[in-house]
Amino acid sequence: MTTLLEFHNLVIKADKTVILDLPEMAVDRNEVLVVVGPNGAGKSTLLQSAAGLLKPTSGRVYFTSHPELAGLEYRRKISTVFQSPLLMSDTVRANIGSGLRFRQVPASEIQRRVNFWMEQLHISHLAKRRANNLSGGEAQRVSLARAFCLETELIMMDEPFSALDTPTRQELLRELRELLSRTGQTCIYVTHDLQEALAVGDRVAILFEGRLHQLEKAAEVFKHPKTPKVAEFVGVENIIPGTVSSKTNDLLQIRVDGMMLEAVGTASIGDTVYACLRPEDITLYPVGADGRTSTARNRLPCRISHLIHQGPLVRIELDADFPLTALVTRPSAEEMNLAAGTEVLAVFKATAIHLIESGHAHRDQAS
Amino acid sequence: MQNILEGIWKAIQLLLQGDPEVIRITLLSLQVSMLATVISLVLGLPLGTFLALAHFPTRRFWISLINTGMALPPVVVGLVVSIFLWRSGPLGDLHLIYTPWAIVIAQVLIAFPMAAGLTISALQQMDPRLRVQLLGLGASRAQMILSLWKEARLPLTAALIAAFGSVISEVGASMMVGGNLQGSTRVLTTAIVLETSRGEFASAIALSLILLTLAFLVNFALTTLQQHRR
Give how far the C-alpha of residue B211 lies from the chain's centroid of Cα atoms, to the nearest Å. 14
Taking CB atoms within 8 Å and a gap of at least 24, the contacts of B198-204 are B201/B3, B201/B4, B201/B6, B201/B7, B202/B6, B202/B7, B202/B9, B202/B10, B202/B11, B202/B14, B203/B10, B203/B11, B203/B14, B204/B7
A89 touches chain B (CB under 8 A): yes
Provide the residue type at B154 as one letter: L
How big is the CA angle at A157 (ends A203 and A124), to the nearest 5 degrees? 120
Q: What is the pTM of this model?
A: 0.79
Contacts of A89 in chain B (CB under 8 A): 151, 230
Strands A259-264 and A251-256: antiparallel
B19 touches chain A (CB under 8 A): no
Q: Measure the CA–CA gap between B216 and B188, rounded to whole angstroms.
A: 15
The 3 state secondary structure assigned to A42-99 is CHHHHHHHHCCCCCCCEEEEEECCCCCCCHHHHHCCEEEECCCCCCCCCEHHHHHCHH
Residue B162, SS3? helix
- Tens digit of pLDDT for each residue in A296-346? 888 888 999 999 998 889 999 999 888 899 999 999 888 888 888 888 999
B227 touches chain A (CB under 8 A): no
Return the pLDDT at A35. Answer: 93
pLDDT at A288 over 80: no
Sign of CA dihedral B47, B49, B50, B56: positive
Provide the residue type at A193 as one letter: D
Contact by Cβ (8 Å): A26, A7: yes
Shortest distance between the Cα of A339 and any Cα of chain B, in A, equals: 52
Provide the residue type at B109 as one letter: L
Provide the residue type at A110 as one letter: I
Between A and B, how many CB-CB pairs are < 8 A? 49
DSSP assignment of A118-142: HHHTT-GGGTTSBGGG--HHHHHHH
Contact by Cβ (8 Å): B204, B195: yes
Q: Measure the CA–CA gap between A324 and A5, rounded to whole angstroms.
A: 42
Residue of B nearest to A156 (CA): B136
Interface of B with A in 151-170 (CB under 8 A): 151
Return the pLDDT at A221. Answer: 86
Q: Measure the CA–CA gap between B195 and B190, rounded to whole angstroms.
A: 9
Give me the percent of chain B exceeding a pLDDT of 90.
Answer: 51
- Tens digit of pLDDT for each residue in B51-68? 999 989 999 999 999 999
- What confidence tier does A360 reach under pLDDT thresholds 50, 70, 90? very low
Interface of B with A in 114-153 (CB under 8 A): 127, 129-130, 132-133, 135-140, 143, 147, 150-151
φ, ψ for residue B153 (rounded to 5)?
A: -65, -30
Q: Measure the CA–CA gap between A75 and B136, rounded to whole angstroms.
A: 7
Identify from B126, B133, B156 which residue to disrupt to test chain A contact, counting A C-beta atoms within 10 A and taking the largest count: B133
- Among B130, B137, B230, the residue with its CB nearest the CB of A99 is B137
Give me the percent of chain A exceeding a pLDDT of 90.
Answer: 38
Return the pLDDT at A290. Answer: 55
Q: B68: which residues sit within 8 A by CB, 6+ positions away?
A: B113
- Tens digit of pLDDT for each residue in A29-71? 999 999 998 888 888 899 888 888 888 899 888 887 777 777 8
pLDDT at B229 over 70: no
The answer to whether ipTM exceeds 0.90 is no
* Least confident among A17-31, A105-119, A346-360: A346-360
Q: With left for phi above 0 and alpha for psi between -120 and 50, is residue B219 left, alpha or beta? A: alpha
Provide the residue type at B228 as one letter: H
How big is the CA angle at B38 (ends B37 and B42), to the nearest 5 degrees? 120
Element (DSSP H or E) covering residue A155: strand A154-158
- Tens digit of pLDDT for each residue in A187-199? 999 998 888 888 8
